[in-house]
Amino acid sequence: MTNFTSAWAPASLSNLGPGFDALGVALTKWGDTVSITLLEGSEIRVSFARGSKWTGPTDAKRNTASVAAIEVAKMVGYHGGISIEIDKGFRAGSGIGSSAASAVAAAVAMNGATGGTLSKEDLIPAVMKGEAIVSHSIHGDNVLPSLLGGFILLQSSSPEGFMRIEGASDICFAVLLPELEVLTINAREHLPDSIPLTRAVDHAARLGLLINSINTNDTAAIGALIMSDDLIEPTRSQLLPPYQRIKEAALAAGAAGCALSGSGPAMYAVCGSSSDASRVAEAMATACRDAGYECASITDSVNLTGATLTK
């Protein structure tokens, strides 16, 4: 048996505004490719492609891609060997869903290799499990957008009730990736265990307003609301020393709003046009470098398709 299938899954912005663990969106440019080959025997092999820009664990129990692929194998009743080759298009600890993209690409490729009997929705438990292996927490605001595309709202504790948020499909993003690693598992340790009721109520209301602004394509309101998280981002932003400087540079260059993505250090800005996004991406990168941190920046848009089979 040598069935060979590969899939690509995109990076994603997560924790959008007051949507901690609840709201994310798929991007188009960066992503991971995972190739699955079904093998005789029962060995599970994990490797990184020769040209992979980054690597990670090759222990099948610790790699997000193999954990997701093994879950899919269990779901379809496949008990043979599996070779999992990962080609990472962007690095782990980036804040734009690196572990999620590997888990999603692996699940989609494994489903393809075993006959494609499962739907993307069926793959949700497998990708959640893959993601959980590195962050030691259950959150789906990167894996679901990467799998399904678009803006996805979910309760991470019961992700099967997710909802695609329609609107804002033409919005432009500037995305900055400072060369600094923030592991989600560490970033979650700094979060408060409990919050006062009034703050929780305000937070919930702001998430509702953000969803409405996406539905109505209101870029100015989306920009303002992605900056309205006062529960998580104030703590997390301390892990990125030039955070304030980058945000101010983005706003001065014309962004409607700018915030951390995921647990950082990635930051993104919401812009009204691709030319605005180019100018904002440049301003964010300059501010980051001026503060002594190397970085990469891109402009990007909403990926409505999510993960796809590539072979």
Residues that bind ligand HSE (CB under 6 A): 14-15, 20-21, 95, 139, 141-142, 184, 188, 262-263
CB 233 → ligand HSE: shortest distance, Å?
10
CA angle at 259 for the pair 254 and 265, rounded to the nearest 5°:
120
Torsion sign over Cα 171, 90, 121, 133: negative
Nearer to ligand HSE, 35 or 98 (CB): 98
Nearer to ligand HSE, 141 or 276 (CB): 141
For residue 257, list its beta bridge partners.
270
For 10, the enclosing helix (H) or strand (E) is strand 4-13
Pairing label, strands 172-178, 257-260: unpaired
CA angle at 306 for the pair 111 and 27, rounded to the nearest 5°:
145
Residue type, 98: S
For residue 192, list its beta bridge partners.
none
Nearer to ligand HSE, 120 or 188 (CB): 188
What are the CA-CA distances from residue 280 to residues 35, 233, 283, 296, 306 (Å)? 36, 21, 5, 13, 25
Written as six digits, the tokens of 261 are: 């993505």
Comparing CA positions, the residue from 99, 120, 96 lying closest to residue 108 is: 120
Nearer to ligand HSE, 89 or 262 (CB): 262
Gap between the Cα atoms of 144 and 257, Å rounded: 24
CB 14 → ligand HSE: shortest distance, Å?
4
Nearer to ligand HSE, 14 or 146 (CB): 14
CB 15 → ligand HSE: shortest distance, Å?
5
For 301, the enclosing helix (H) or strand (E) is strand 295-301
Classified as helix, coil or strand, 6 is strand
CB 261 → ligand HSE: shortest distance, Å?
7
CB 244 → ligand HSE: shortest distance, Å?
19
Residue at shortest CB range from ligand HSE: 262
CB 43 → ligand HSE: shortest distance, Å?
31
Nearer to ligand HSE, 249 or 258 (CB): 258
Gap between the Cα atoms of 263 and 268, Å rounded: 12
CB 53 → ligand HSE: shortest distance, Å?
19
Nearer to ligand HSE, 225 or 253 (CB): 225
